[in-house]
């Protein structure tokens, strides 16, 4: 089995790994595909995965939990029209692959014979996340030592810090995809994440502060003191800030979203509605609206899986399609959706490199990678000073979205009152309530300070979770409903 022109070290490494460890070569993969294609199907693919993941967590000054998890297996899909058959096994062998292929074919069986497959490969240029040391190869002793340092440092910052919780999670994922259209693709995907959370107390009042960081790079970056200390500083700052927060007023008001993580609102309230499956089934608020104005002038929304080392980035998606930059909304006009192969084919469009799955045990779905709004020309300070009374939301916690209607509710974990153009008191209990497509039309000013989040996002859909990135410049939204706790 050989890689194709344009493929890189990561692809070669994954190809060699599956061949040498499990005997998975080009001829055996073609045989498995042949089994799936013994009856008439439109498309079939075989997906191999070998993933190791470690996690270590600290609480109350001691390491309370540590785990090492191995996820390996093969999944085979057979597709006829809209009908998909899928079967998987946690054993990586060609016998298991052929058995799964037969099962998937039976589910989608339409009769006839599709003929043989010749794998030609799928090229992708460069490597978005080269690493020399797999994150899971770093000794656990070094990870424990890092958490101990974080605990001591965070407690030293302020006597109000009563509890420190920290965790480090590392993952090393190797995948191999072959499909009936001749695609042969492979990738090695590192992933690291460091979380720091503190509880601060003032009398009977206790508040939480959190900050995290991660991406597709070596763990050594998170172990650099400048990085982990920055996370601890921020977690303590937010916890202390919340100790002094006041009740949030409720009502319709101007809202300014800060840069970076507030892009989670864009991801949830708008991004999901632009995924191909919802639009093919016409269950999205954006269905049949290509070419229409769906946002204010100046609003451009992009999903880009090619950003180096970002949590949501991928060299190839889980169908072997090279990742790319997809413009979804351009200057307020809807110009594209996010597609996997199935929905792209059924809608007469091209795959966009967004076919993603949690593991070999799941079928791919159209999913986001790194989704963000492009910056405008406004100075963020000018945007804030333009608001006489409103809310400045800097960070968000949980939220809920109805894809069909676009309605959402999000809770702000850090927010401030804006009074006479100045940032006022921090508030507690602020929620933003609105409709995704409607909110885009209410964007009145866009800052020049686009930021992508620190690398902590995980997107859930149909029971599957995948790592994603979000981003936003400072934006001003007119007349958004704010739910508060001020009675």
For residue 76, which of 100, 99, 53 has the smallest C-alpha distance?
100
For residue 298, which of 336, 329, 264 has the smallest C-alpha distance?
329
Mean of per-residue pLDDT scores for the chain: 92
Which helix (DSSP H) or strand (DSSP E) does residue 149 occupy?
helix 140-157
Cα 285 to chain centroid, rounded:
22
Residues 227 and 333 grouped into a single domain = no
Residue 126: inside a domain: yes
Quick check: 464 and 272 in contact, CB under 8 A? no
Residues 132 and 41 grouped into a single domain = yes
Residues 389 and 449 grouped into a single domain = yes
Sorting pLDDT into bands at 50, 70 and 90, what band is 9? confident
Alpha helices in 283-400 (DSSP H): 341-346, 380-385
Question: Partners of 196 in the beta sheet?
Answer: 166, 211
CA atoms within 13 A on the CB side of 176: 27
Residues 65 and 137 grouped into a single domain = yes
**DSSP per-residue codes, 425-453:** EEEES-EEEEEHHHHHHTEEEEBS--EE-
Q: Which residue has the tokens 């930059």?
A: 325
Sorting pLDDT into bands at 50, 70 and 90, what band is 235? very high
pLDDT tens digits, residue range 36-69? 887 778 899 999 999 999 999 999 999 988 999 9
Sorting pLDDT into bands at 50, 70 and 90, what band is 110? low
Angle 183-186-192 from CA coordinates, rounded to 5°: 145
Quick check: 92 and 73 in contact, CB under 8 A? yes
**442-450: average pLDDT:** 97
Sorting pLDDT into bands at 50, 70 and 90, what band is 2? very low
Percentage of residues of the chain with pLDDT beyond 70: 94
Residue 3: inside a domain: no
Which of 243, 275, 291 is at the close of a domain? Answer: 243
Give the span between the Cα atoms of 377 and 397, in whole angstroms.
28
Give the span between the Cα atoms of 312 and 372, in whole angstroms.
12
Give the span between the Cα atoms of 317 and 323, in whole angstroms.
6
Residues 167 and 302 grouped into a single domain = no
Residues 214 and 325 grouped into a single domain = no
**277-293: average pLDDT:** 95
Q: Is 74 exposed, middle or buried (0-12, 13-18, 19+ CB in 10 A)?
A: buried
Sorting pLDDT into bands at 50, 70 and 90, what band is 118? low
Residues 328 and 218 grouped into a single domain = no
Residue 66: inside a domain: yes
Residues 95 and 45 grouped into a single domain = yes
Q: Would strands 355-356 and 365-366 be described as parallel, antiparallel, or unpaired?
A: antiparallel
Question: Partners of 466 in the beta sheet?
Answer: 459
3-state secondary structure of 414: strand
For residue 266, which of 406, 387, 380 has the smallest C-alpha distance?
406
Q: How far is CA 2 from CA 8, 19, 76, 133, 432, in A?
A: 11, 10, 21, 24, 52
Sorting pLDDT into bands at 50, 70 and 90, what band is 119? confident
Is pLDDT larger for residue 374 or for residue 407? Answer: 374
DSSP annotation of 378 reads B
Sorting pLDDT into bands at 50, 70 and 90, what band is 3? very low
Residue 2: inside a domain: no
Residue 220 above 60 pLDDT?
yes
Residues 215 and 294 grouped into a single domain = no
For residue 75, which of 111, 33, 116 has the smallest C-alpha distance?
33
Tell me what pLDDT residue 34 has: 87
| Range(s) of the domain holding residue 301 | 247-483
Residues 362 and 472 grouped into a single domain = yes
Give the span between the Cα atoms of 189 and 127, in whole angstroms.
10
Tell me what pLDDT residue 272 has: 94
Residue 438: inside a domain: yes
Tell me what pLDDT residue 5 has: 30
pLDDT tens digits, residue range 321-357? 999 999 999 999 999 999 999 999 999 999 999 999 9
Tell me what pLDDT residue 423 has: 97
Residue 130 above 70 pLDDT?
yes
Q: What is the pTM of this model?
A: 0.94
Residue 95: inside a domain: yes
Give the span between the Cα atoms of 18 and 20, in whole angstroms.
6
3-state secondary structure of 285: coil
Sorting pLDDT into bands at 50, 70 and 90, what band is 7? very low
Tell me what pLDDT residue 356 has: 98
Residue 4 above 50 pLDDT?
no
Residue 121 above 90 pLDDT?
no
Residue 151 above 80 pLDDT?
yes
Kindly provide the residue ranges of all beta strands, DSSP E only, lying in 180-236, ordered along the sequence. 184-202, 205-215
pLDDT tens digits, residue range 300-314? 999 999 999 999 999
**386-391: average pLDDT:** 97
């Amino acid at each position: 089995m050989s890689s194709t022109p344009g493929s890189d070290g990561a692809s070669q490494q994954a190809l060699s790994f599956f061949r040498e460890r499990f005997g998975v070569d080009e001829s055996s993969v073609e045989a498995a595909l042949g089994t799936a294609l013994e009856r008439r199907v439109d498309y079939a693919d075989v997906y191999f995965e070998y993933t190791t993941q470690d996690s270590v967590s600290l609480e109350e000054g001691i390491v309370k939990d540590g785990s090492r998890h191995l996820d390996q297996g093969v999944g085979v899909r057979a597709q006829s029209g809209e009908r998909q058959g899928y079967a998987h096994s946690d054993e990586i062998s060609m016998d298991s692959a052929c058995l799964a292929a037969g099962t998937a074919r039976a589910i989608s069986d339409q009769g006839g014979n599709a003929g043989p497959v010749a794998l030609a490969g799928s090229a992708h240029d460069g490597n978005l996340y080269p690493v020399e040391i797999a994150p899971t190869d770093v000794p656990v002793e070094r990870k424990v030592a890092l958490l101990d340092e974080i605990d001591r440092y965070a407690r030293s910052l302020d006597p109000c810090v009563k509890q420190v919780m920290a965790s480090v999670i590392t993952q090393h994922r190797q995948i191999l995809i072959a499909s009936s259209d001749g695609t042969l693709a492979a990738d090695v995907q590192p992933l690291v994440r460091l979380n720091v959370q503190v509880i601060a107390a003032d009398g009977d009042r206790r508040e939480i502060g959190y900050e995290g960081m991660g991406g597709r790079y070596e763990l050594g970056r998170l172990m650099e003191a400048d990085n982990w200390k920055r996370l601890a500083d921020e977690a303590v700052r937010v916890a202390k800030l919340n100790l002094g927060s006041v009740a949030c007023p409720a009502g319709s008001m101007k809202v300014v979203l800060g840069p970076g993580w507030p892009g989670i609102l864009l991801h949830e309230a708008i991004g999901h509605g632009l995924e191909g499956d919802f639009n093919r089934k016409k269950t999205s608020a954006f269905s049949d609206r290509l070419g229409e104005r769906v946002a204010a002038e100046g609003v451009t929304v992009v999903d880009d899986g090619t950003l180096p080392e970002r949590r949501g980035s991928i060299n190839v998606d889980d169908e072997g399609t090279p990742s790319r930059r997809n413009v979804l909304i351009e200057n307020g006009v809807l110009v594209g959706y996010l597609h996997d192969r199935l929905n792209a084919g059924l809608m007469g469009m091209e795959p966009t490199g967004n076919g993603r799955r949690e593991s070999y045990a799941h079928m791919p779905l159209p999913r986001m990678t790194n989704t963000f709004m492009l910056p405008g020309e406004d100075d963020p300070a000018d945007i804030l000073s333009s608001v006489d009374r409103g809310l400045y939301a800097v960070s968000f916690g949980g939220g809920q979205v109805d894809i069909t209607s676009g309605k959402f509710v999000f809770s702000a974990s850090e927010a401030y009152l804006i009074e006479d153009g100045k940032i006022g008191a921090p508030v507690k209990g602020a929620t933003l309530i609105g409709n995704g497509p409607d909110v885009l039309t209410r964007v009145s000013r866009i800052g020049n300070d686009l930021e992508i989040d620190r690398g902590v996002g995980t997107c859930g859909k149909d029971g599957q979770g995948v790592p994603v990135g979000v981003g936003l410049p400072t934006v001003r939204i007119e007349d958004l409903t704010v739910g508060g706790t001020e009675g």
